[in-house]
Structure 1
Amino acid sequence: MSESKFNQRTAILLLIVLLITVLRTVAPFSDNFKDIANFSAVGAITLFSGAYFKNAFKSFGIPLATLLITDLILSLTIYKEYSTGFLYEGWYWTYLAFALMVLAGRLIVKKVNVLNFVLGTFAVVLIHWIVTDFGVWLGSSMYPQTLSGFWLCLYSAIPFELRFVYGTIAYGILMFGSFELLKVKYPYLSLAKERAI
């Protein structure tokens, strides 16, 4: 594949991530955002990046940089009251979850198809649920620091995680579907393997 064709593929992948990132940044400013909180694009972005970028730096760097930039924008504006210095309390658990979610995308969605998309979505949501809520539970005065306290924390998060599932599916269909349709129309966007470098 020529360098210009490679650059076009990479540019289109980045453009798709950028467009979805803008939606993630603008959505919290909506008057109805509380009704759709956690209906987020970030799970889909991690899965998409893990599936399409072979280069580990891009695969992990793009979603984590996206999360960081949007977190900074939101913590300086609409979530300013929740900001604790750098970002928000327990941010490192969120970033650990997102790195693991990209890894799941890389391992599960080696070939883009419906089954792998569904399995990848299930994996990233499960990782998000367990890792981020472990961060909420650990050292919390709200939940007993026992296994049953952790289960209670996980149970309390179900409504949020269901919206995370819906957001990951909806944005994932949009992202994966857009790129796969573009590959049909412009075959040079395909690689011998399913991932860009």
Structure 2
Amino acid sequence: MSLNKINTRNIVLVLVILAMAAIRLFTLKYQVWSNFTPVGAIAIFGGVYFNDKWKAYLIVLLTFFVSDVIINHSYTSQWSLWSSYTFWNCVCFSIIVFVGSQIKKLNFVSGLVILLVPVTTHWLIMDLPWINGASSLYPNSLLGYWEALVAAIPFERNMLLGDAVFGLVLFGGFELAKSKFTVLRTNRTIAL
């Protein structure tokens, strides 16, 4: 394979996403940091920066799938490729990647979207009692859904904080790297 066919930008994006995904494993030993992870930031980052959007979906979903398998193994001591959350996590992260793919310009408004869409999407979908296995805790009704949403606030607060911190690292770091290394730039620029 010639060096012309190697897309350095995509390699860097994949490596950055994998490095950030490894941070998810940190919370396994420190439950107080539960949900303080870069998952939302990774999903929207992939949507924004991959030129070929199918690569964003593939890399983001595959990264989360593999890290979920590792995390589930750490909790259950069994290797499982599928859990009750896998499908709905893929739905959430696909929505987040899609929203990221629609961002054409980095500014205050898109910054709010980058910050709020991941946590809001995750919160509204994953806390449905009939999805998250909490139907034994909350009734399958709007009141049960509301109770599940309220109970999830501490976890979603940590996700929001994680998305803010890791989003700043991902987006700020990549924009800085693009300003220093022309190989990371594309014809499709994101205006600041």
16-25 or 111-120: bigger deviation: 111-120
Q: Deviation at 1:45?
A: 0.6
Partner of 2:104: 110
* Greater RCO structure (CA 8 Å; 6+ sep): 1
**Number of residues of Structure 1 aligned to a counterpart in Structure 2:** 186
Q: Deviation at 1:73?
A: 1.2
In the aligned structure 2, how far is the partner of 1:22 from the partner of 1:128? 20
Is structure 2 residue 74 aligned with structure 1 residue 45?
no
45-54 or 118-127: bigger deviation: 118-127
Partner of 1:10: 10
- Which digits, 9 at most, give the CA deviation of each residue in 1:86-124, with x for residues without a partner? 4433322122111111111112x2223443122122112
Is structure 2 residue 125 aligned with structure 1 residue 125?
no
**Cα distance change, pair 84–159 in 1 and its aligned pair in 2 (3 A):** farther
Identify which of 63, 68, 73 aligns with 2:65: 68
Is structure 2 residue 76 aligned with structure 1 residue 80?
yes
In the aligned structure 1, how far is the partner of 2:124 from the partner of 2:6? 37
Partner of 2:95: 100
Q: Deviation at 1:189?
A: 2.0
**Cα distance change, pair 112–141 in 1 and its aligned pair in 2 (3 A):** same
Partner of 2:148: 153
AA partner of residue 136 (structure 1): N
Identify which of 178, 184, 189 aligns with 1:189: 184
In the aligned structure 2, how far is the partner of 1:36 from the partner of 1:29? 9
SS in 2 for 1:144: coil
So what's the TM-score if we normalise by structure 2? 0.87
Unaligned runs of 5+ in 2: none
Unaligned runs of 5+ in 1: none
AA partner of residue 192 (structure 1): N
Partner of 1:171: 166
Is structure 2 residue 157 aligned with structure 1 residue 162?
yes
In the aligned structure 2, how far is the partner of 1:6 from the partner of 1:191? 14
AA partner of residue 69 (structure 2): L
Q: Deviation at 1:188?
A: 3.9
SS in 2 for 1:136: coil
Identify which of 138, 145, 167 aligns with 1:143: 138
Give percent identity, aligned residues only.
Answer: 31
SS in 2 for 1:79: helix
Is structure 2 residue 23 aligned with structure 1 residue 28?
no
